């Protein structure tokens, strides 16, 4: 039997790669240049699963994901939380005294401002954190450093000059795992349901749409709005709630939601990660 293949965005050593290794240690990983390539790899059968970051405790939601999720045809089957740890790394022989520039993804640079400021480094934006490590290794320049996950130093032969350089110790990213087919957990176990909906363009539509969740005792943990097709009068919402659609309260809430919306699409029903507790 062939091993499971998991597609992720970024280069080997990225945080998405780390999550794949943690939760599917026997799987074959498939690095992709963009999120769109990740979704396409699963849709075409090149990969069995996709591992996608969706939220960060500091930076908030990950841009662009909401564009792909509703139309991808894939289902969220699991969620994973990763405590983000960054290291400052450079080529062998470099030191904190020799480095002048630091390369990384724009979010990582923003999450590690303290060490950048302390050493007077000039930040340079790279496509992703692991790619920054590769760029520094290829340059073989002791004045260049990268802020990347520790795994990247091992992969690209860099020396770690400082560990845990992130400004906040609660820096955590939530990843979702996507598959072509749903894998519904049993009702009664801690479950998350993710869905999107478009509200009708009438007064109080959103207020009325959300009322059913309140009256049925359903805990909503996420609600994000997006413009649809460039129209200011059409708004799409991505929501997450605790519970399984077969639970009586959530079933009633979703039924009430149909009266105030033009579309509802369940994107995933999956086990709640223990990190939530």
Catalytic residues: 173, 175
Give the integer Cα–Cα distance in Å for 91 and 93. Answer: 6
- Regarding beta strands 101-104 and 122-125, do their DSSP bridges make them parallel or antiparallel, or are they unpaired? parallel
Give the integer Cα–Cα distance in Å for 147 and 105. Answer: 8
| Phi, psi of 6, rounded to the nearest 5 degrees | -115, 125
Burial class (CB in 10 A: 0-12, 13-18, 19+), 230: exposed
Q: Find out whether 144 and 99 touch, Cβ atoms under 8 Å.
A: yes
Instruction: Count other Cβ atoms within 10 Å, centred on residue 1.
Output: 3
The SS3 assignment for 46 reads: coil
- Regarding beta strands 172-179 and 122-125, do their DSSP bridges make them parallel or antiparallel, or are they unpaired? unpaired
């Amino acid at each position: 039997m062939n091993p499971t293949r998991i597609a992720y965005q970024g280069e080997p050593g990225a945080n998405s790669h780390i999550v794949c290794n943690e939760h599917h240690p026997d799987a074959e990983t498939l690095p992709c240049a963009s999120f769109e390539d990740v979704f396409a790899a699963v849709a075409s059968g090149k990969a069995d699963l996709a591992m996608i970051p969706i939220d960060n405790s500091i930076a908030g939601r990950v841009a662009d994901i909401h564009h792909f999720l509703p139309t991808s045809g894939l289902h969220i089957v699991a969620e994973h939380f990763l405590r983000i740890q960054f290291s400052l790394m450079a080529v062998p022989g470099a030191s904190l005294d020799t480095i002048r520039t630091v390369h990384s993804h724009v979010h990582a640079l923003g999450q590690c401002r303290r060490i950048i400021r302390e050493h007077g480094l000039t930040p340079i934006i790279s496509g992703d954190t692991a790619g920054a490590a590769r760029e520094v290794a290829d340059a073989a320049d002791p004045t260049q450093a990268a802020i990347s996950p520790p795994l990247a130093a091992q992969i690209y032969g860099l020396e770690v000059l400082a560990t845990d350089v992130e400004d906040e110790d609660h820096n955590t990213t939530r990843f979702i795992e996507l598959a072509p087919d749903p894998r519904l957990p049993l009702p009664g176990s801690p479950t998350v349901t993710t869905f999107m909906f478009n509200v009708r363009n009438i007064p109080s539509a959103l207020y009325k749409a959300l009322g059913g969740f309140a009256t049925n005792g359903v805990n909503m943990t996420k609600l994000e709005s997006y413009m649809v097709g460039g129209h200011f009068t059409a708004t799409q919402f991505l929501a997450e709630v605790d519970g399984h659609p077969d639970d009586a309260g959530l079933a009633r809430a979703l039924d009430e939601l149909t009266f105030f919306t033009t579309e509802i699409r369940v994107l995933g029903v999956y086990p709640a990660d223990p990190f939530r507790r």
